[in-house]
């Protein structure tokens, strides 16, 4: 598989795990298109919890831009979500006809539209072509070796 651009959606409560998974995927050659989960994100540090404020708007637009740029959205539901943002991200990715991968359990009826799911990240890495340990870097051409 060629490297992909991936957006990771999940709960703030699982941000540390999402960050680790982003590092794993980057080590496989993929590009991560969102940064909301990174501990050094300056925008997240400025946010005061006001969902209607200017900082929230910047965060939301940045997240939607990350989904626009991705090939694949991976949605992690292993932690409960207090804001519901990951469900909005799922809906946006569905509307954009993105490939979507679920890690965890479905939490709304819209998860029935996802065709690829894994119980946890270990299963994802073992079974998904995206989480596989071998990434094609030769441009997809077989050189006969």
pLDDT of residue 96: 98
Mode of pairing for the β-strands spanning 72-76 and 5-9:
parallel
Compute the distance between CA of residue 49 and CA of residue 69 in angstroms, rounded to an integer.
26
The confidence score (pLDDT) of residue 36 equals 83
Q: Hey, where are the domains in the chain?
A: 5-127
pLDDT of residue 133: 59
Q: Tell me, rounded to whole angstroms, the distance of Cα 45 from its chain centroid.
A: 20
Q: Are 41 and 35 in contact (CB under 8 A)?
A: yes
10-residue mean pLDDT series, the chain (145 residues): 92 90 94 85 69 83 96 95 90 98 96 96 93 53 38
According to CATH, what is the number of the domain 5-127?
A: 3.40.50.450
pLDDT of residue 123: 95
The per-residue pLDDT for 139 is 43
At 45 the pLDDT is 65
Q: The tokens 């292993």 sit on which residue?
A: 78
Which of 112-118's residues contact partners 24+ apart within 8 Å by CB, and which partners? Answer: 114/75
Q: What is the pLDDT of residue 72?
A: 98
For Cα atoms 54, 58, 64, give the angle at the middle one, nearest 5 degrees: 140
Alpha-carbon span 88 to 58, nearest angstrom? 15
Which pLDDT belongs to residue 136?
47
pLDDT at 135 (0 to 100): 45
What pTM does this model have?
A: 0.85
Residue 76 is predicted with a pLDDT of 96
């Amino acid at each position: 598989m060629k490297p992909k651009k991936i957006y990771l959606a999940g709960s703030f409560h699982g941000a540390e795990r999402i960050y680790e998974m982003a590092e794993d995927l980057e080590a496989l050659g993929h590009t991560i298109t969102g940064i909301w989960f990174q501990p050094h994100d300056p925008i997240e540090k400025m946010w005061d919890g006001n969902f209607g404020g200017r900082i929230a708007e910047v965060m939301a637009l940045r997240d939607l831009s990350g989904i626009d740029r991705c090939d694949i959205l991976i949605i992690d539901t292993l932690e409960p979500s207090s804001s519901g943002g990951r469900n909005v991200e799922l809906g946006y990715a569905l509307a954009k006809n993105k490939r979507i991968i679920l890690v965890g359990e479905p939490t709304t009826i819209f998860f029935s539209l996802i065709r690829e799911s894994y119980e946890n990240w270990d299963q994802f890495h073992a079974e998904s072509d995206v989480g596989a340990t071998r990434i094609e870097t030769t441009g997809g051409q077989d050189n006969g070796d």
